[in-house]
Amino acid sequence: MITSVCLNPCIDKTVTIPRLVVGGMNRVQSSRLDYVGKGVNVALNLRALGEDCACVGCIGRAGGDETIARLRGAGVATEFIRVNGDERINIKLIDSSTGRITEINESGPPVDASVYTQIEFLTTSFARRSEWLVLTGSLPTGLPKDTYARLIRAVRRAAPDCRVALDAEGEAFASSVREKPDFIKPNQYELELYCGTPCAERGMAAGEALKLIELGIPNVLVSMGADGAVWADAHTQAYAAAADVMVRSTAGAGDAMLSGWLSAHRRGAGALDAFRFAVAAAGAKVMTEGTQPITRGDVERLLSGVALEML
């Protein structure tokens, strides 16, 4: 089983307008609500790829039932700690004239730091039954920035055979890197935030990824949006362009990439084949509206078009 941890779920509201008029009237062409969060996205995508998976974490009282129902309806095992307050709402405003997306994200309900003990117990109990544990997404207000690092240490003690994947940013990423997770997937912004160096060019991103390999992290995948992705491990470094598809929404593309890599790796794919599958999964995601999960059929159709350039 693969378990994803989602400590700060959200409701994504995707709104499409003909043309964004700042300071003026904007009429809505279409809108949709998706009950998500990065950990939720990962679990739904893994399930769509045929994986046995679970999603655990904290969840607000208002909106939480819909999120749990969505997961269970897809066949994902769930267990959440209820916290006071409503799930946060993230607005993704799409200007259809340019394709540009403006995001407005809430911080979500605060979580008392004392809840960490329950989070650790829940996480380690699922880690004992899992091949991989995925730590991803923002941390709710109230939890310390080293929460993911503490959870990695707890999992290493309680479930040493469970491998850990990380997708975070800022202090949560930096503190967790020191714990040497088995796989990390920073995006370009998160990598630049960590290393303090521009990584817009693939060679720069690969160089910084190699520094993370030297710290003892076995697998690094850097997502770069429309500019593709970079893979690095101790033996190979490679680049892949983004899949050439019609983009309907970029929301959750990084989560799909992470899910694709984990699924391919769990099924025995080598490093580069898993990388290609991950890039195809991200392409399959941007073909969908809102934050709908990918389909295995779309991923497999795109896979043959993913070419690698060795760096």
Residue whose token pair is 């394709």: 99
DSSP, residue by residue, 219-248: EEEEE-GGG-EEEE-SS-EEEEPPP----S
C-alpha span between 188 and 203 (Å, rounded): 12
Nearest to 8 by CA among 49, 43, 60: 60
Residue 206: inside a domain: yes
> What is residue 236's predicted lDDT score, i.e. its pLDDT?
94
Residue 196: beta bridge partners? none
C-alpha span between 184 and 177 (Å, rounded): 8
80-124 confidence digits (pLDDT tens): 999 988 888 889 888 989 988 888 888 877 888 889 999 999 999
The CATH number of the domain where 271 resides is what?
3.40.1190.20
pTM recorded for the entire structure: 0.92
Class of residue 99 by CB neighbours under 10 A (exposed 0-12, middle 13-18, buried 19+): exposed
C-alpha span between 39 and 43 (Å, rounded): 6
Residues (pLDDT < 50) of the chain are: none
C-alpha span between 202 and 99 (Å, rounded): 24
**Domains held by the chain: number:** 1
CB distance 2 to 262 below 8 Å: yes
Residue 60: inside a domain: yes
Residue 63: inside a domain: yes
DSSP strands (E only) in the chain: 2-6, 10-17, 30-36, 53-62, 77-86, 88-95, 101-105, 132-136, 163-167, 183-184, 219-223, 229-232, 237-240, 308-310
Residue 239: beta bridge partners? 230, 309
124-172 confidence digits (pLDDT tens): 999 999 999 999 999 998 999 999 999 999 999 999 999 999 999 999 9
Nearest to 250 by CA among 135, 147, 100, 128: 100
For 248, left (φ over 0), alpha (ψ -120 to 50), or beta?
Answer: alpha
> What is residue 265's predicted lDDT score, i.e. its pLDDT?
96
> What is residue 252's predicted lDDT score, i.e. its pLDDT?
87
Residue 16: inside a domain: no
C-alpha span between 147 and 243 (Å, rounded): 34
Give the number of other CB atoms < 10 A from CB of residue 133: 28
Domain enclosing residue 164, as ranges: 2-6+37-85+108-310
C-alpha span between 133 and 2 (Å, rounded): 6
Residue 48: inside a domain: yes
